A and B are shown apart, each in its own frame.
Chain A
Amino acid sequence: MFDTIIIGAGPAGLSAAGILQEKQKVLVLDEYFHAGGRLLGQLYEEKKGKWWNGLEIARKLVSDTQDKTEIRLSTSVYDVELDDTYTVHTTSGTFRSRHLIIATGSREKSNPLPEWDLPGVMTVGAAQVLTNFSRVRPGDKGVIVGINPLSMVIAMELGYADIDVAKICLPPENLLSTQKPEDAFETLVSLGHSAPSRFISTGAGLAGKAKPIHPAALKLFPKNGIRAMGLPISIKEKIIRINGTEKVESVTVQKTDSKGKPLNGKTREVKCDFVCISDGLAPLSEIGSLLNLKHVYAESLGGYVPLHSEMMETELPNLYVAGNVTGIENAKVAMYQGQLAAHKILGDEDAAMRSLSAITHERKNAKVKFHKDLLQGRETVETMWREIEKRKAE
């Protein structure tokens, strides 16, 4: 019997373990063969010369926990039951605990497009893990389908490893994917402060924070794209198919107008040996579903998240959530959320409040923001939580 089981050895799970282990018997479970979750592979410049190196941070979190916490890797959780305690069924056996923290993180979403099952087509996250964690090149020349903060950051990471990114474009328009040039433009503008590009700064000036984006800014956007942050970004081109027989050989690019409407006859092939598909991240909330938690849909959080309070509590006793399962944000927020959940479990309200302030502070100052309406999404969840609490009290 454990005091607390934590599902997920990423930034949230390991940060929680680091605090709980001082007073509790803790078990951390993870399906990957290496602890660290998606910290493994993260690499970006926070300030000039100051790098966020996820691999190093993961190493530190592991060295802080490996002596006192039991960490079981290569272990998948396939069921969780609650009676007096939590029973966690895994591929390495069944474990019980009084408290449970769901810190399962997120998965990547994908826009399907013709021939996306060819070898050489992968998620941007796959390319990131290969490049920065496995240190194996995903290929020599890649094309990225999808313009969002994650794909932009990873495109830069490929550059640090001298892997050529030939193009970053939008996906084809279909039922699943409706991203228009203006959405991509908005993403670029939101990254504008870190983008040493005159065009984007100008665009940011034209568009400001107002919606809709100034049409002139979009019309002015060069039809062959621009180079910003060293990246060949093109918001008026869509990758409409991937070509190759045994593996990726090229992609077909379609030019569009500033509304995303294809221009007749304007297609061309771009040679490449790998393609990354990116449509952002979605919380991995299966464990919450197994426990019948209510879920809230918020696009700005990445999709469905288990209903929870800002103190990481859920509707069930002794069940907490932390990290990207609560909504897509950066690893620092995940770490603070893990700490917050741990303080709540230990009943240390003061420390929990300090973690909450740290989260608020980080949200304001995050260099990489995954969604511009994040705070609105958080508010939706918090409002619903309060309503349900109120109903319970009545």
Chain B
Amino acid sequence: MTDRIMNHKILGTIQPELVPFRWNGEIIHGAEGESLAAALLANGIRTLRRHEKDGKPRGIYCNIGHCSECRVTVNGERNQRACLTPVEKGMDVEQQTELPHLVKGDDAHV
């Protein structure tokens, strides 16, 4: 499970304001202003992207904008780092998938 930590014995209690946004067309909720990476994880979504070359799943790695593993498409704009992008109400977020192989054809991946 990847629940939110509402009560923390040292940091106290939080009550995040949840807003709806879209993930691959489906409406889910995130806390406004938190990172997309955190919001997706709170919804149990670990696979943020499928690798361009082989379609293998990729998720959060560094969580501070350095590794670029968490790239997603936000409101049509590709390659936005989910860990650096704050959740906004009504945002449209999509997972990126493997790319067609330009030399060998669509279904030949190496």
Enumerate chain A interface residues (CB-CB to B < 8 A).
31-33, 38, 43, 51, 53, 55, 74, 107-108, 117-123, 125-126, 129-132, 134-140, 160-161, 246-247
Partner of B84, one of A32, A120, A126, A160: A32
- With beta carbons under 8 angstroms apart, the residue of B2, B8, B39, B41 that contacts A161 is B8
A350 to chain B, nearest CB (A): 37
On whether the beta carbons of B61 and A126 are closer than 8 Å, the reply is yes
Point out the residues of chain B lying under 8 angstroms from A38, CB to CB.
64
Whether B61 contacts A136 by the Cβ 8 Å rule is: no
Asked if B11 CB lies within 8 Å of chain A CBs, one says: yes
A118-B57, A137-B4 known, 10 other contacts, Cβ within 8 Å: A33-B86, A119-B48, A119-B59, A122-B62, A122-B63, A123-B61, A123-B62, A126-B64, A129-B63, A137-B2
A134 to B35, CA, bound (A): 8
> Do the beta carbons of A31 and B61 come within 8 Å of each other?
no
CB nearest to A119 among chain B residues: B59
A122 CB, nearest partner CB in chain B, Å: 5
Contact B62 A119 (CB under 8 A): no
Q: Contacts of B66 on A, CB cut-off 8 Å?
A: 107
What distance in Å separates the Cβ of B97 from its nearest Cβ neighbour in chain A?
A: 14
CB pairs A–B below 8 angstroms (10 shown): A107-B64, A118-B57, A126-B63, A129-B64, A130-B41, A130-B63, A131-B5, A135-B8, A138-B41, A247-B47
Q: Is B1 interfacial (CB 8 A cutoff)? A: yes
A259 to B38, CA, bound (A): 40
> Which residue of chain B has the shortest Cβ distance to A284 in the bound complex?
B66
Q: A160 near B62 (CB under 8 angstroms)? A: no
Instruction: Pick the residue among B5, B51, B83 that contacts A137 (CB under 8 A).
Output: B5
Pairwise interchain contact A130-B38, C-beta atoms closer than 8 A: yes
In the complex, the number of residue pairs spanning A and B with C-beta atoms less than 8 Å apart equals 106
Residues of B within 8 A of A118 (CB): 57, 59
Using Cβ atoms and an 8 Å threshold, which residues of chain A touch B78? none
Where chain B touches its partner, the secondary structure class is: loop
Cβ A119 vs Cβ B63 within 8 A: no
Bound form: Cα–Cα A132–B9 in Å: 11
B108 CB within 8 Å of chain A: no
> Which residues in window 79-110 of B have CB below 8 A to A?
83-86
- B28 on interface, CB distance cutoff 8 Å: no
Task: Closest B residue to A118 by CB, please name it.
Answer: B57
A138–B47 CA distance with the chains assembled, in angstroms = 13
Which residue of chain B has its CB nearest to the CB of A131?
Answer: B5
Q: Nearest-CB distance from A258 to chain B (Å)?
A: 32
Q: Given the complex, which residues of A lie within 8 Å of B19, measured CB to CB?
A: none
Chain B residues near A136: list those with CB within 8 A. 2-5, 34, 38-39, 41-42
The CA of A379 and the CA of B60, in the complex, are separated in Å by: 38
**Please, which residues of chain A bring their CB within 8 A of the CB of B35?**
33, 134
Query: Which residue of A43, A129, A161 contacts B5 across the interface (Cβ within 8 Å)?
Result: A161
The answer to whether B5 and A117 have CB atoms under 8 Å apart is: no
Q: Are B46 and A119 in touch, CB under 8 angstroms?
A: yes
